[in-house]
Amino acid sequence: MRDAPGDEVRSLDVTSRDTEQAHLVVGVRGPERRSPDRFALSLLNHSLGGGISSRLFQKIREERGLAYSVVSDRVAYADTGALAVSVGTAPERIKEVLRLVLDEIEDLAAKGVTKEELELAKGHLRADTILSLEESGARMSRIGAS
């Protein structure tokens, strides 16, 4: 993935409302749709927050009980992309959850995924691809993105 201008930029946007649950979204720049790096990011995404076996789900929800929903997803467009982590948690836990998310992203950036995580992610993505071939909406999206 090539470095994009402004990769070092960090920003925080806080919108406060009187609700029982806070929603945290952390995003990082990702590869565009046709980049060869998109496949690696899909595998990394699965390991980070792509399911119940993911690092974030296990650490934030299962081990610490800090959130009901924990998920990451990647998006890719013609000229840019992103990886986003979304967490629903109690407002008083938002700083703790944010620190855990950032720590996990930094750990993945420094160490990468384990062999076990990689194999699990490959199997999941293979199954997802096969299932999506049966859905007409997914097929049309793929054709439109080509």
Which residues neighbour 89 within 8 Å (Cβ) at sequence distance 6 or greater?
21, 22, 24, 60, 66, 67, 68, 97
Each residue of 96-135: pLDDT tens digit?
999 999 999 999 999 999 999 999 989 888 888 787 777 7
Among 67, 105, 57, 107, which Cα is nearest to 84's? Answer: 105
pTM: 0.79
Query: Which domains, from first to last, does the chain contain?
Result: 22-145 (3.30.830.10)
Which residues neighbour 38 within 8 Å (Cβ) at sequence distance 6 or greater?
30, 31, 32, 74, 76, 81
Task: Give me the chain's average pLDDT, please.
Answer: 87
Q: Report the pLDDT value the prediction gives residue 65, as an integer from 0 to 100.
A: 97
Each residue of 63-101: pLDDT tens digit?
999 999 999 999 999 999 999 999 999 999 999 999 999
- For residues 47 and 116, is the Cβ–Cβ distance under 8 A? no
Beta bridge partners of residue 75, listed in sequence order? 82
Among 127, 117, 95, which Cα is nearest to 48's? Answer: 117
Each residue of 27-44: pLDDT tens digit?
989 999 999 999 999 999
